[in-house]
Structure 1
């Protein structure tokens, strides 16, 4: 089973433009993410896939592998699907470019689900971490996920799910961590599936898979890390890096 990692890296970002080129301990965030992904030693190849010559040149200057997107894309999955069409592999892991604290333990858990999936019931796998802070649970920037008894995703939302109408049920809440492991065929098919209204409403790309009947295996982790979505997140990351 040949496993590769692809890191979609868009220069512009609505909440924090140019965040991937911000300094983190002497190197840009995207370089830190690339190096962290390499350091897991889980992948035969790691690529940064970008629409930016600035990011492309920075990765290459640091000895990394980068691929320029040929056309604009709505999502990270679309971006890496274009790139993976010309790459031989079985499993593609989408590592978010704004996660410089990407670590081996969680990624290995995601990849392990494919080793026992002999019938290929799993189209893609992803990570979730339990959250308890109500401010985070209600924060629309935090994507939540609910799963069935076998940890297959039922739905993703920016709203609190499940809604705690009966607080005595002691509902558990899980944050979706934006790392995906795709079967190559499922990823390539993604680009051919038109966006539907649920994905368009929530602005959560993995909902598209659920709307078309694909199965997403969720893997629980206790490692939360820091996703750099805002300048405040970057300051947290700098403190953690020290």
Structure 2
């Protein structure tokens, strides 16, 4: 199985400006992500950025960096541009890894690629078991339900599946076993990435603010299974960054 990893690295960030270049133990954040992705078995790992400072910094440790347009409305649109720039075959598996996950588990990257490789679906992703009751009701923790064949049925910020008995009686009796939290790592077939950008925006994705719902709305399958390794949280704030630095120093990760 061959697959390509693409790491989008946008310079702009409301809560942490210049996030891809944030220093983590002597390396920019995006370099940590790149090095972890290289351990996944990918045939190529490419960083796609929209800013010259990021391009120059990345060029110091790899030549696999592309400058992309600034006017993309979503990460998938940026991914589609990368597919064109690399002239990838339509059947090539492309794994989209976020550039703000310096504690990325390489095993999860290879897992989602293999999940797609073993199916006819155009797209695959991962989930993890929810272990904290508060996450069931946290709209920032996206829940997902799937069918017996590992096809995602729906993604939502709401508490799905809805446990009618517990919710009507006593929320403290809520069984967490059925709940899965979506992990934002995706594998696509390169041809579908371009096809996705031609699909009309769905009312569901607007309601939930979840881009992947466009795929389900238009009748396509998304394969999903539980991640082999529970991912660490990404970096969105200076506080997140401090936690990652402390973790790396303590574990020499």
Per-residue Cα deviation, 1:73-99 (whole angstroms, up to 9, x for no partner): 121111111111232241111001111
> Counterpart of 1:113?
115
- Given the two structures, how large is their TM-score scaled by the length of structure 1? 0.90
Secondary structure of 1:139's counterpart equals coil
For residues 64 and 145 of structure 1, what CA distance do their matches in structure 2 show? Answer: 37
- Which structure would you say has the larger Rg? 2
> Counterpart of 1:22?
22
What is the correspondence of 1:11-160 to structure 2 with a 5 Å cutoff?
11-40=11-40, 42-87=41-86, 88-89=88-89, 90-117=92-119, 120=120, 122-160=121-159
Query: Is contact 2:123-2:189 (8 Å) kept?
Result: yes
- Unmatched segments (≥5 aa) in structure 2: 167-172
> Counterpart of 1:192?
198
Query: Is contact 1:51-1:72 (8 Å) kept?
Result: no
- Unmatched segments (≥5 aa) in structure 1: none
Deviation of the 1:5 alpha carbon? 0.6
> Counterpart of 2:216?
210
Query: Is contact 1:9-1:49 (8 Å) kept?
Result: yes
Taking only aligned residues, the RMSD between alpha carbons, in angstroms, comes to 1.9
For residues 161 and 18 of structure 1, what CA distance do their matches in structure 2 show? Answer: 35
For residues 179 and 85 of structure 2, what CA distance do their matches in structure 1 show? Answer: 39
For residues 13 and 139 of structure 2, what CA distance do their matches in structure 1 show? Answer: 17
Q: How many residue pairs align between the two structures?
A: 238
Query: Is contact 1:195-1:208 (8 Å) kept?
Result: yes
> Counterpart of 2:231?
224
- Given the two structures, how large is their TM-score scaled by the length of structure 2? 0.86
Secondary structure of 2:191's counterpart equals helix
